[in-house]
Every structure is written in C-alpha cells, then in structure tokens.
Structure 1
C-alpha cells in the first residue's frame, strides 16, 4: 500500500482522510511494515466502506487486513439505524460467525507427548473434516429451526455439553432475534448433515501448549500457565452461512437503487437497517450465528470424547468462544454519547475491555479473552481486550494471521505431503483428508501472526496474554 496516501497518527495507527464519496475517514491499526505490505485493494475497500450510509466514526482495518469480498477481511464498521444506517451481507461475509473456542485440558505437555500420536488419530477419527464433510447428526425441519433459534443452548439441551459451557460463550451461546423463516430452504438443506463438522479451508481443531505467558494476571484469570495443554477449534456456520450470504447479497444488489443506495462496489450490497430486507437479513444472519455456535459446541463434545478415550477422566472445560464474522447490535460511546450501533466485524474479533457488562465475572477485571488463530504450524495467541478499545475501534481486534497469498499460489509453491513431513519433524502432527488442503494452508501463505498480534497489542486494541504452540492439528 502506498503510505503517501495515509497520515500516520501513531506508531500503529494510520488515517485515510475522507475524500470523494467517503462520509468518514478510514483508520488502519498496524505497523509500518504490515501496512506497506497490504494490497492497494485494501485501501480502496476501506474507502468504499467509509462511503456507506449511516456509518459512524470511521471505517477500520485491523493489522491482519487483506482483500476480501466487499469489506476487507479485518474490516470493522458501525452503523446507526436511526441515522439511515445499513446492514451489509458483504460486511459479515459468507462464513457467518466463523470463530474460535479454546478449551482447557488439565494436562501438561509431558502428559500429551507420551500419547500424542494416539490422540491425533482419535481426534481425526471423531472430527469430520474436509470439503463436503458430514457428521452423524441429521436435522429434520423442526430440529433445524430449533437449532437456528437456540444455538449452543440447543446443543447443550440435546446432550452436547453442559450449562457451564454457556457461561463462557459470546452471547451465552445464543443470539436473540434469529429468524429461521428468513433462512432459505436451500441453506437449511445444505446444513442438514453438516452439524458437528469442521469443513475445509483454514478451519481446524488444534491441540496446543502454552509456550509463553505475557500477562500473569490475565493468564491467572483465564486459568492458564506455561506448559498447559489446550484445544482450539476454528470453524463457522458451514454451508448454511455461505448460502445465507449468497441469497441476501443477490437480493440486496437488486434492491439497492429503490432504497436510494448507490453502491461503489456490488460486493458492498446492503439494505437499510429499518427496511424489511434489512430486518430479514439480520434475522437470517443471527440464525447463522446460532448455527456456528451450535456447531462448535457439538465439535467440543466430539473432542471431549476423543480425549476421554486416550486420557480417561479429562473433562475439557471451556475457556471462551468468540466469533469474528458477525454484525452485532451493541452500545458504544461516540463523541461522549452512548449510541446503539450495528457493528460489522469481518475477520475481526470482538475484544471488550475490563469491566464490560457482557463478560463472565471471572474475566471482568482483565477483559475479554480474544482468541487469535495462527496459520497451520505456527503459534496461536490469547489476548485480552484492552481498556479504551471500545472508543478506538468499537471493541475490536485482529482475528488471525491474514493471508499473504492466494490458495492457488500456495498450491503452486508447496506440496501437501512435504509440508506434513516437515511439520512432523518439528513435532507437529497434521491429520487431514486432503493434501491439497494442506498445501493451500501452508504456514508461509499467511502473514507473521506474531507481527499482527504485536500491532494489536501496541495499538491498544488487545493485550498479549499467552502464546500457544501447536502439537496436533486436525485440518479440513
């Protein structure tokens, strides 16, 4: 990206001044090196988002930002329904409520190393993964609607976990306002056999060890210590979320002119928040969030079964679950006044700071756990929402490493079998149904997640708590 078009406001904050159709400025949180490495398309997309009706404060980009559909991935924007604001399906993305949940195991590195191969095989046998993967759960029409309304609460009631899990899930496991009737029959059909599956792409279930602690107080609040083994699950709403995005983007593009909306890019298709279309999309999108929360809950149940088969008595309590492809209705202070806003986070994680009313009591003093997935074979991170992050970026932070090259280019450069062998030599066991998928997710196809996390930390979005090093990765 051409830095001459930006104004540096701090070591890790860059301003894109409002020009042309932009209603507000753009703001990028990243180091000079990360900004310079960003595609020029990211700047263009930030400017386009900044021109949408009813946008508040600024169009933000996180340190892992890269080109996406409509919004840049790593994009954050908030809209006021009472000020002509819109909801954009392109601002949520196709993998609605893709997110990360992290589980404690109570095990130490030495415990797992003795049986690591057996654990990898047990997890791979129980966790359906890959393109078109299906599970053992088949949802009829009534159960599908109940799942879309109930989210992880539905899953717990069906026997896939306990009420204790719900206390550590964003929105306590269920987003209000979901409308299964706003979800197409095709979307429901695609999801009918996909509950409890990882899917493909960058989704994974990973066994990790806490390799370094950076914030002792936050780590203690989260129950983490060096040498602890944890499990992280990264996935979303599978085919249902993709179909919801497809359905509503098509409808929003057609309806935009009649709503008086001139789109700078068809991929930014949107609808007024107060319109019938906007309300239907919100109902469908919230159903997609609940689908993802239920999916991760079922995967948690399957992971617990695999661990119990290798380490009898291990329980895997939930540390936290948070999404990074959503639009949430939240209260934020803008220019000294509290306003109810619809915050789009696409490839950006909610990161509420200390004292926020929505945090579990045990995390209130240190801030929300912010779960950051690394690329395959590299570190993941646990951060804590920083004080002041709500004023800086509506309580948002990065979500991962961010791609540095296309999947096609990654496949041209690397072979899956060679990557599996190379990682095994480093003590990281990969289990995947697709060597092609492994090649697409080569570690060097992504940005340096450490640099991304450093920028989030030093920009005041979320502070570093712990680094997690992979041991076993079940890869879609």
Structure 2
C-alpha cells in the first residue's frame, strides 16, 4: 500500500487524506502491516466511505486484505434513521463465520500420549471438506426452526447444555431471523451440511496455551499456561453463501430503483428501512443462526470424540465469537446513544469491560476476542478494550489475514511437504486435500503476532494468551 496517501494519527492508526464527498477513513495497523497490504484495500474502504448514512469513519482492521465489496477486515456503521444502508458486500458470503473455543481439563502430558490417535479420531468424526455432508440430515421444516433458533435449537435437541449459551454472542440466537426470506436454493444446500466444518480457511484445532500476557483476564477466562484448548472455525456453509449471492442481485436492483449511486457495483445495498433491506436483514440473521447452530453441533461432536480418549474430560465453552455480520447495536456517538447497524466483515465484536451483554465472569475484563492464525502458526485470545468503543464501535481483528492469493500459494508450496514439515515441528495436520493445504500455507498469511500486537497497540483489544497448535483438522 502507498502510505503517502495516509496521515499517521499515531503508531497504529492512520487516516486516508480527505476527499470531497467521502466520509473519514481510518486504517488500524503498524507501518509494516499497512505497507504489505494491497492498494485495493484502500480503494475499497474509500468506496465504503461514500455510502449513505455512514456514521463516523469507514475502518479497516490490522489484518485487512481486499475482498468482495468491503475489504476483509472492514468495519462500518450506519444509522437507519439517517438513510443508512445495509450491504451484503459488507457482511460477506460466509455469514457469521466465527470461532468456538472450548476449554479442556486434558493436560498436555496426557494429550502427548494420544495425539496421533486423537488426530485420526477427530478427522473421522468431524466432517470436513468441500461439499462434505454431515451426520445430521434435516428436513425443510426442521431447518426453518434451526434458522430461527440457532444454537438454542441445538441445545434444546441435545447438542450441548444451557451453560454453552451464556458464552455465545447473543446467547446463541439472533433475533429477527426470517426463514421466509431465505431462498429454496439456499435451504436445499444446507439440509445435509449441518455439523460440518467446510473447506478453505476453516479448521478445528487442538491448542496449548503457550504464553499468558494478562494473568487476571486469563484467570477469569479459565485458562493458564499449559492448558489444552480446542478452537472450531467455521460458518453458515452453503446456506450463507447462497444468501449472499441472492441478495447481491436484489440489493443492486434496489439501489438502482432508489437512485443510490454505487461507487462500486460490489457494494450493492439498500436503505435499512426499505423492504429489500429488511428482507436481507431477515435472511442474514437466519444465516447467523445457521452458523451458531453449526458450531454448537460441531462442539458436541468434538466433545464426544475427546471423551472417547479422555473419558473424564471437562470441555466447557470459553466463548463463541462471530465475524461477517451486521448487527444492530447501541453506541455512543458525539455524546448520545444511537442505534447503529454495524457491518463487520472479517472483524469481530469486542465489547469492553462492564458491557451488560457479557457473562458475569468476563464483564470486569472485557469480551474474549479470538484472532485465529493460519495453519500451524498459532492463535491469540484477547479481551475487548474500553477505548475500542469510541475508536471502532467495539470491533477488533478476526485472524492473521491473507497476504498472498490462493493461486500464488499453490505456485509456491506443496501440501504434502508442508504437512511433513509441520509434523516434524510437533503439529499434526489431517486434511482431505493436499491442494487445500498448500492454499492455506502459513506463509500465505500475515504474521499473527504482529496483527495481535497491532490490535492491542490500536486500543481495540489487549492480548491475554497465545495458543500454540498441536492438531489441526482441515477440509
């Protein structure tokens, strides 16, 4: 990225030089991270800043890279009462992709004795891969109930307990979901995909807490150095992708009908209060519930497998956090509370200490935030900061973020060689696709340590612990 177009606000915040007809633009990250970003990121977030009803600045997180419409790592808030819009390009195709993190009572010593067998067992029990069907096949009526009930439906049907729901955003269910706004084609894609991991950057990873940065927050989160955790990264699968595809068309038509000048056709949008905007909200919220139910079912399958090897294992949920959403939230702007529709594409919500939406045990320390690393590099648990409310509508990074395209990664790496190299480092990979492994090579992503440091330096979330991978299941 050409930094001459930016003005530094401090070491971790930069603004795009002003231009007529455009709202402010703020980019979070250090000089090295921004220099490594494609100029397309700047072009895309600049276009977002031209959309109607934007409140404050259009923003990118330290892990940003270019995507469809919004850059991945893009955050923007809109006010429905001021003609604010909702955009499918600001949510993404994998609606509510996110990470469920489980704590475990398994010790690293016990894990080491059964690592290979556990890796093989998880690979069998967790359906992973492009188009892979799940163990749970549902009929259309049941799917509609899932799209309304989310993780709450899964718990009610035996996939976990009510204790899980307290540690999931929105208690595992997005209000306002409307299955009637989801196409028959989208639903058909999901009937056999509940409880599946998918492909691409999705994974299930067994990890060990390698380093603690904030002992008080770590204690509140129930983790300490040497603890074994499990992270499950996936979303709404085929249903979410089809919702995104369907509504890019309908929202583009609405923009044309209403005379909204789109700076980029990929930013197809409609006023939040319009019929098209409300239809997308209903469908998108159904997609969120699909993802929440999917991760709840995968957590159940994971627990079942781990207890086969460790019958006495306790596996409570630490937290479940989504990215790729648009959520109606109250934020203080210019001294008053306003209801805003916050788009977070490749970014997570990161409420600070004291927020009433947080579980009691976490409230004094802030929301757990998970920055998922690339295959074999490690991940971070952070806690939301109070200053993040004013700086980014309580938003933070969601992962390491790609720095190289999948095609470029394929030209550079071979899947089998990567897997063998990671095995020599004590990290076991199980995957359906050598091609997929090459596409997800650690070197294809930004440095997760630098992203986490920049997220903390920017005042978005503070580091609590670094997690080192031991087993990774990929599609």
Q: Could you tell me the TM-score, scaled by structure 2's length?
A: 0.99
Please say if 1:8 is aligned against 2:8: yes
Q: Report the equivalent of 1:332.
A: 331
- 1:251-290 alignment runs, 5 A limit: 251-290=250-289
Is residue 75 of structure 2 the alignment partner of residue 71 of structure 1?
A: no
Residues 407-434 of structure 1 deviation map (CA, whole Å, 9 limit, x = unaligned): 1111111111111100000000000111
Shift of 1:405: 0.6
Partner of 1:52: 51
How far apart, CA to CA, are the structure 1 residues paired with 2:15 and 2:55? 15
Q: How much has 1:74 moved relative to structure 2?
A: 0.3
**2:184 pairs with 1:185:** yes
Deviation by residue 1:277-325 (Cα, 9 ceiling, x = unmatched): 0000000000000000000000000000110111112131100000011
Question: Secondary structure of 2:354's match?
Answer: coil
Q: How does 1:169-318 map to 2 (within 5 A)?
A: 169-318=168-317
Q: After the TM superposition, which residues 11-90 of structure 1 pair with which residues of structure 2 at under 5 Å, given as runs?
A: 11-22=11-22, 24-90=23-89
Alignment of structure 1 residues 383-394 onto 2, 5 Å: 383-394=382-393
Structure 1 residue 18: Cα displacement? 3.3
Secondary structure of 1:324's counterpart equals strand
Write the deviation string for residues 433-459 of structure 1: whole angstroms up to 9, x where unpaired.
111110100000000010001000011
User: Shift of the alpha carbon at 1:101?
Assistant: 1.0
Alignment partners' CA distance in 2, 1:138 and 1:115? 31
Aligned residue for 1:401?
400
Rounded Cα–Cα distance in structure 1 between residues aligned with 2:18 and 2:83? 19
SS of residue paired to 2:105: strand
Provide, for residues 115-169 of structure 1, a one-character-per-residue CA deviation record: whole Å limited to 9, x for no partner. Answer: 0001101111100000001112111111010000000000011111001100000
Aligned residue in 2 for 1:415: 414
Structure-2 separation of matches of 1:368 and 1:240: 28
**Residue in structure 2 matched with residue 439 of structure 1 by the alignment:** 438
Q: Secondary structure at the match of 1:217?
A: helix
Query: Could you list the per-position Cα deviations for residues 367-415 of structure 1 after superposition, in whole angstroms to 9, with x for gaps in the alignment?
Result: 0000110000001000000111111000000000000111111111111
1:17 Cα shift? Answer: 3.1
The two structures, once aligned, show a CA RMSD in angstroms of 0.6
Q: Any residues of structure 2 matched to 1:40-189 within 5 Å, and which?
A: 40-189=39-188
Q: Aligned partners of 2:378, 2:204: CA distance in 1, in Å?
A: 14
Deviation for aligned residue 1:107: 1.6
3-state SS in 2 of match to 1:106: coil
Q: Is the partner of 2:180 in helix, strand or coil?
A: helix
Determine the C-alpha separation between the residues in 1 that align with 2:18 and 2:311.
Answer: 59
With 46-55 and 310-319 compared, the bigger mean Cα shift is at 310-319
| C-alpha distance in structure 1 between counterparts of 2:46 and 2:256, whole Å | 20
Asked if 2 retains the 8 angstrom alpha-carbon contact of 1:210 and 1:229, the reply is yes
1:372·1:382 contact (CA, 8 Å) conserved in 2? yes
Residue ranges of structure 1 left out of the alignment (5+ in a row): none
Cα displacement string for residues 80-111 of structure 1 (whole angstroms, at most 9, x for unaligned residues): 00000000000000000000110011122111
Inter-partner Cα distance in structure 2 for 1:420 and 1:389? 38
For 1:33 and 1:411, the matched residues in 2 are separated by 25
2 CA distance for matches of 1:86 and 1:312? 51
Is 1:355 equivalent to 2:354 in the alignment?
yes
CA contact (8 A) 2:106 2:310 kept: no
| Corresponding residue number in structure 1 for 2:462 | 463
**Residues of 1 paired with 2:48 and 2:151: CA distance?**
32
Query: d(CA) in 2 for partners of 1:27 and 1:245?
Result: 26
TM-score between the two structures when normalised by the length of structure 1:
0.99
Deviations along 1:235-265, one digit per CA (max 9) or x if unpaired, are 0000000000000001111221211201011
Over 4 Å off, 4+ runs: none
**1-structure distance, mates of 2:293, 2:312:** 24
The answer to whether the 8 Å contact 1:138/1:192 transfers is yes
Q: Do the aligned residues in 2 keep the contact of 1:122 with 1:309 (CA within 8 Å)? A: no
In the alignment, structure 2 segments of 5+ residues that lack a partner are none
Task: Give the 3-state SS of the residue equivalent to 1:472 in structure 2.
Answer: strand
CA distance in structure 1 between the partners assigned to 2:279 and 2:378 by the alignment: 39
Moved more, 352-361 or 254-263: 254-263
Distance (Å, rounded) in 1 between the aligned partners of 2:33 and 2:20: 26
Paired residue secondary structure (1:307):
helix
